[in-house]
Structure 1
Amino acid sequence: MEFLVNTQNLTTLSTGTLVLALSQDKPLSANVQSVDQASNGALSKILARGDFTGKAGQTLLLQDIAGIQAERLLLVGLGKDDELSDHAARKTIKAITAVLKGLAAKDATLALDALAIKQRNAYSITRLVADTLHHYLYRFDQFKSEKTPVPTLLKVQFHANTATQKDIDRALKQATAISKGVDLTRTLGDMPANICHPSYLAEQAEQLAKEYSALSVEVLDEKELKKLGANALLAVAQGSDQPPRLIIMKYQGAAASEQPYVLLGKGITFDTGGICLKPGPGMDEMKYDMCGAATVIGSMKAALELQLPINLIGVMTCAENMPSSNATRPGDIVTTMSGQTVEILNTDAEGRLVLCDALTYIERFKPKAVVDIATLTGACMVALGTQTSGLMGNDQNLIEQLLKAGNNADDRAWQLPLFDVYQEQLDSPFADMGNIGGRFGGTITAGCFLSRFAKAYPWAHLDVAGTAWTSGEKKGATGRPVPLLMQYLLDQTL
């Protein structure tokens, strides 16, 4: 999908479909008035008849309107002004996309000057619209005999005036790059686990390095992980025939002396729960337990597309969690790369085990900040539902930056506490700590566990168990939190 800016007069603009937004309780916008006048009041007549009211998500497709060059005219309702929010705007864009996908037009022009969301300017509204359009145009049908019909829509133009042209152009360039990263993240997440295993993720990283000369990749195998003492990561992987991988992607967009930002992703390519086996219903969705790693590689792709002037390292810690005669047992004790010992009380709390060794490994990069991304706890879904990611960390400034980025990207997170008193729930009589902290505060005690391995740098943890994919009949990866992370990285370049 190509996004472009267009400043041409709407009445003389030749386009397959011209999209105009109308509010339910505000006067007609300048764009709508200009088209109405050129068409000899055609829109006013439609409104007077009551065929279109501007109700949120309402659409009306018109053909060959006299006085304008557009082949089709699509009216879309925004609802009442005081009800227009990010969520409402996304529903409106979803309605637009549904119509455009069913048309034979190869291009469309969006003239959405009436889409005025409080506390958002032309730049951020454009980012929101472009992100939503791209999201609903995504397809994953590699394994279907009958492919989903490819939409004929190839180009979407955003109408701008001289005052907004520069901001809209910048927003579209960024949205295009971020969408490529989101698509990669979603595709990897939707891949079945018999294909997308740790070695496959390593191959995808190496392929990315072939596409972008600014990226270098290093892949650590079992032998190298044993030398490093990454026994927690190895313990998770030992029940599977698929060998683990620690994948390091390095992008240098600034001077070598500049400290890098590090993104760390949990990459459990399938999670049975190990010996502590998960229930059968819905277990197919455990292929999504690598969405943290998929987020990292997607974010790296977006950063490379944008050529961000920063140094960025992406780390994916990858394994498959399977039950077998070689699998880790509840009660086993491992010595992590940091030297701290862990009693593995639950083999289904494996994500923190693969992450803890990676958090220690990352110390060698002397990072400016580290953000780990993991589908870590079902408890996070109980606490925050499926719309908001959990956020914890040891540096309040970093947390505030991520919260702000999430709000601006409409990819929100919510801070949970890491009070010292929660650490006591991890006490073990036999090791330095257990890998679970009991029934209560499961998301927080998981964060407490990780915090013990992240004391050498500013660190934040994103629990995306509820946001990285949607469940049920229409299950699929969402690409979150790539938009949040990319907004955070963009903010670091200002």
Structure 2
Amino acid sequence: MQIEVGSGDLATRDTGLLVALCRQDGGVPAALAELVEERDFTAAPNQTVVSYPRGAVAARRVILVGLGPDAGIDEERLRQAAATAIRAARPFGEESVVVALPADLAVTGAALGEALATGIELGDYRFTRFRTSLTEDEAFDIETVALLADPSDASAIAEGVAVGQAVANGVLMARDLVNTPGGMKTPPDLAAMAIAMGETQPSITVTVLDEVELAEQGFGGILAVGKGSDSPPRFIIAEYGADLEGVPTVCLVGKGLTFDSGGLNIKPADGMLWMKNDMGGSAAVFGTLRVVAELGLPIHLVGLVPSAENMPSGRSYRPGDIVTTLSGTTVEIHNTDAEGRVILSDGLFYARRYEPDAIIELSTLTGAIIIALANHASGLMATDQALADALLAAGTRSGDRAWQLPLWDEYREMVKAENADLKNLAGPAGGSITAGAFLAHFAGDFPFAHLDIAGTAWIDAPKSPYLSSGGTGAGVRMVTRYLRDLVG
């Protein structure tokens, strides 16, 4: 979609569809005030009213979208309003839509443009790749959105629009990856997708280790989880900015479980249906890399994705097995369905060779985090409070929120085993935190943050105008915002 920024009088703008974003405190623009009764449109957040002006203004149709009271109009409110606008506009079949922005917003310039562009692009997302028959309305795409802004702010808004579209590209890439069926994104398939990304983004170098190389180098965690499947595991390394000097190095580690049956501790049938989403962490890593490459950020960013399929067979790893991971740490398997932390142990230890300024790991790791936070925030655990604070702030600003849980020494004690160094499941109490404590062991002394996105990477029903059911792209906006703040 093309998003343009211009200026002009909304009353004289000749268009098939005009959308006006309206502040509750500022009211409906004077030129449109006669089109709607005050009691019918209060400009409450995301409220919409459609009107046919019949010559009162040049536009043939007008949609009013509420922003709510000024005190609540932040970047998140603007993202939601923009998504509401694009979804309200689609059914009218206009290829070009004009969106008029109100005056006196607290959010201005690039921040305003970024919020609007992100909301528009995310709100317009539909996953129809496998639909063989679409109605005319379903197949229709809006081609151009023109933002009418204050002339003094138009240039800065346009700069923000470009950033917002880059961020949205990464989120939408992650959504597409998560929504793709597990049988079409086995570990070798996921590796091929990463290689294809590197071909379209020359600043990203992709290296893939196959099962032979994994065995030669001692990736015991990945190999143990993956050996029950006919699709062999892979370890994917996607690197951006390796040749840059004097820049921070950040490693992103993403869980790439392309399908999780639970293994020999097999899941119930209704718990397996959407397990194609268990690679949401890897999708977030790839999406973030794409955004960073498109923006050309001055940073050395390394994406590490241990990828496997957790399947039951005569070759599967068993409860009671002891696995020697890449670090040499031994792990006793108490449940084969707690496999994500086992493959991530290899990825986190591998990250240490880059001597990074931070290691950020993302994974759809525990059902316990959904019990704690529902679908409204990701769980955050960290060994470095400055890193945690920066991620929390980035999540709040980007609308991709997290909530911090403790990572005290007592939780680390809970994952120690009698027959090995660690066990992969400590029991039901504090399940999300003990999983984070297990992972922290493998990050060593490097600043480490664990984001459990099990509740946010996939939703059954939209919780926001810019979310659709299915994959959400959770983690991309938060981590991208963190990286942008890190490099200034």
TM-score by length of 2: 0.92
1:141 paired with 2:140, answer no
Contact 1:187–1:477, Cα closer than 8 Å, also in 2: yes
Query: Which residue of the partner structure matches residue 465 of structure 2?
Result: none
Q: Which SS does the other structure have where 1:71 is aligned?
A: coil
Q: Indicate which of 246, 263, 266 corresponds to 2:255.
A: 266
CA contact (8 A) 1:90 1:129 kept: yes
1:300 aligns with 2:299: no
Q: Match for residue 492 of structure 1?
A: 486
Residue equivalent to 1:124: 111
Q: Distance in 1 between matches of 2:361 and 2:442?
A: 12
Please state whether the residue corresponding to 1:284 is helix, strand or coil. Answer: coil
Partner of 1:173: 162
Give 1:28's aligned residue: 27
Change (3 A) 1:246 1:74: same
Task: Please state how far the C-alpha of 1:385 moved relative to its aligned partner.
Answer: 1.1
Indicate the residue corresponding to 1:19 in structure 2: 19
The amino acid across from 2:200 in the alignment is E
Between the aligned partners of 1:316 and 1:420, the Cα distance in structure 2 is: 27
| CA apart distance, 1:262 | 1.4
| 2:471 corresponds to which of 467, 477, 493 | 477
Residue type of the alignment partner of 1:482: V
Residue pair 2:247, 2:298 contacting (<8 A) in 1 also: no
The counterpart of 1:229, out of the listed 210, 218, 238, is 218
- TM-superposed deviation, 1:6: 1.2
Residue 46 (structure 1) aligned to one of 36, 60, 67: 36
What corresponds to 1:411 in structure 2?
400
**Distance in 1 of aligned mates of 2:103 and 2:275:** 42
* Deviation for aligned residue 1:414: 1.0
What is the rounded CA distance, in whole Å, between the counterparts of 2:259 and 2:410 in structure 1? 33
Distance 2:87 2:319 in 1: 49
User: Given the superposition, is the C-alpha separation of residues 221 and 374 from structure 1 closer, same or farther in structure 2, using an over 3 Å criterion?
Assistant: same
Map 1:369-448 → 2, pairs under 5 A = 369-448=358-437
Tell whether 2:450 aligns with 1:465: no
Distance in structure 2 (CA, Å) of the matches to 1:46 and 1:465: 43
- Correspondence for 2:241: 252
> How far off is 1:108 after superposition?
1.5
1:280-309 deviation per Cα after TM superposition (whole angstroms, max 9, x unaligned): 114111110001011111111111111112
* Greater alpha carbon shift after TM alignment, 290-299 vs 152-161: 152-161
1:185 correspondence with 2:184: no
Q: Is the 8 A contact 2:208 2:236 kept in 1?
A: yes
Deviations 1:212-239 (A, max 9, x none): 2212110001111111111111100011
Structure 1 residues 73 and 369 mapped into 2: Cα distance closer, same or farther (>3 Å)?
same
The answer (yes or no) to whether the contact 2:113–2:159 under 8 Å persists in 1 is no
> What residue identity is the alignment partner of 2:336?
T
Indicate which of 187, 191, 207 corresponds to 1:202: 191
Q: Which residue of 1 aligns with 2:200?
A: 211
Q: Distance in 1 between matches of 2:104 and 2:287?
A: 29
1:40 equivalent in structure 2? none
Measured in 1, the distance between the counterparts of 2:53 and 2:428 equals: 63
SS at match of 2:131: coil
AA matched with 1:400: D
Shift of residue 336 of structure 1? 1.0
Q: Report how far residue 279 of structure 1 moved.
A: 1.2
Query: How far apart are residue 258 of structure 1 and its match?
Result: 3.7
Gap change, CA 1:209 and 1:86, over 3 Å in 2: closer
Letter in 1 for 2:27: L
Q: Distance in 1 between matches of 2:98 and 2:306?
A: 43
User: Equivalent pairs: percent with the same residue?
Assistant: 39
* Pairs within 5 Å for 1:70-149: 70-81=59-70, 92-113=81-102, 116=105, 120-147=107-134, 149=138
Unpaired runs of 5+ in structure 1?
Answer: 37-42
Classify the secondary structure of the residue corresponding to 2:255.
strand
1:308-347 per-position Cα deviation (integer Å, ceiling 9, x unaligned): 1212111111000011111111110011111111101111
Post-superposition CA distance 1:7-63 (Å, at most 9, x none): 223233333322113344x2436xx13x34xxxxxx236336x44343443323233
Q: Which amino acid aligns with 1:7?
A: S
> Which region of structure 1 is more displaced relative to structure 2, 186-195 or 65-74?
65-74
Cα 1:23/1:472, change in 2 over 3 Å:
closer
Unmatched runs of 5 consecutive residues or more in structure 2: 463-467
Q: Counterparts of 2:381 and 2:424 in 1: how far apart (Å)?
A: 18
Return closer, same or farther for 1:84/1:301 CA change in 2, 3 Å cut-off.
Answer: closer
Q: What SS class does the counterpart of residue 309 from structure 1 fall into?
A: coil
Which residue does the alignment assign to 1:333? 322
Code of the aligned partner of 2:183: N
Partner SS state of residue 150, structure 2: coil
Letter in 2 for 1:222: E
Q: What is the 5 A alignment of 1:153-168? A: 153-168=142-157
Q: Which moved more, 1:158-167 or 1:342-351?
A: 158-167
Alignment partners' CA distance in 2, 1:239 and 1:435: 18
- Which letter maps to 2:330? T
